[in-house]
Chains A and B, each alone.
Chain A
């Protein structure tokens, strides 16, 4: 897609096989242009073995490079979802994996105490972790990457994976005069309609609303994209649907460790000027005596005074991550931690301790509020 003429309701699109451009007219237009990986403009950044990863095709490209052989050392830059999941995949391919991360712990969407558990898990599975280091350059030889340079060291690399986050792909929309919002995402109303007549947006290119902070919010996740798309499609089909917003739920895993978060974390609460208390508890994923029970750590945050739940984070063994859905539902409902204590959750020894770990955390937090 090369150009959108919103006034004339037409788009200029180029066929990538024939190279020919044509104008196509529309009555309604939906931007579903997604997000683009952040790629720093640093010395050597045009070498071919430096890969961002945001499409099935970019994943297949990395697979092809590994299959060609000759790759032993891989450096992953960035300790977010993409960095972690790539580190796991590379470790499972018996590669030597280093991970460079600018913050003091990986998983910046967790508070530091919970992120530290994930950092340790990465070390435990054999990832060489370099925290509080900033990428400054790529080393190349004859156009091929040979290493990366941080502010503290040089690391040799046959392949570099960038997981530095994404930005909404909205240049085309901006050029067409569509107003942008949070982090450059396309501003939409609850029906996913932009401020320009006949133009809509959904998914990683579009803005969301955070139901906990009650502020515009940008999040690039497939779950949200599917829900945005559903609402936009119903409206485009002549129906009526609205998207209320998100609470910021996300899950991932690194080998045996599951990681989950929902709501607001400490740094977001600080920025909002809210006062909160938090509780961190350790429990088991099943009844303690039941075979296969693993450790789970749950952190909950609630507003001081009102007791309203503001966020939760979970790190633990298999069976941990999806427990965040109780936290997410409580956030949607606007529950206080007192209200969470009496939630009638499922229990039998193969599934949970008699007090679910999320409820145990709510009980601990209620004592402090």
Chain B
């Protein structure tokens, strides 16, 4: 069975905080973040 997949739209404060927490709680989760701009977590 394929790994469960989380897609995050937006790589700033909320998106990256969530992605980091999800990774810590579930190391095997497949996580993909899409960000339109060139920077991530710029207001975090």
Contact = CB atoms under 8 A, between A and B. Distances in A.
A1 interface: yes
A200 B15 CA distance: 11
A8 B15 CA distance: 22
A229 B32 contact: no
B15 A237 contact: no
A56 B39 contact: yes
Nearest to B8: A30
Contacts of A222: 13, 43-44
Contact of B14 (A16, A29, A232): A232
Contact of A226 (B5, B26, B37, B44): B44
Given A24-B7, A28-B6, A226 B39 contact: no
Given A230-B18, A237-B25, A30 B6 contact: yes
B44 to A, nearest CB: 6
B9 A29 contact: yes
A203 B6 contact: no
A225 B24 contact: no
Interface stretch (A31-39, A119-127, A346-354): A31-39
Contacts of A1: 9, 34, 36
B35 to A, nearest CB: 9
Contacts of B12: 32, 34, 203, 225
A236 B9 CA distance: 14
A163 to B, nearest CB: 16
A30 B5 contact: no
Nearest to B23: A237
A26 interface: yes
Interface residues of B, number: 33
B25 A238 contact: yes
A226 B12 CA distance: 9
Interface centre among B13, B16, B21, B32 (most CB of A within 10 A): B13
A232 B12 CA distance: 14
A233 B17 contact: yes
A55 B10 contact: no
Tell me which of B23, B36, B37 has the highest count of chain A C-beta atoms within 10 A of its own C-beta.
B36
B38 A236 contact: no
A252 to B, nearest CB: 14
A29 B7 contact: yes
A202 interface: yes
A234 B17 CA distance: 10
A226 to B, nearest CB: 5
A171 B41 CA distance: 22
Contacts of A31: 9-10
15 contacts: A11-B9, A13-B34, A29-B8, A31-B9, A32-B10, A57-B38, A203-B13, A205-B14, A206-B14, A226-B44, A229-B15, A229-B18, A236-B18, A236-B25, A237-B23
Given A11-B34, A56-B42, A226-B17, 20 more contacts: A1-B34, A11-B7, A11-B9, A24-B7, A26-B6, A30-B6, A30-B15, A32-B10, A34-B10, A34-B12, A57-B39, A202-B17, A205-B10, A222-B13, A228-B18, A230-B17, A232-B21, A233-B18, A233-B22, A236-B18
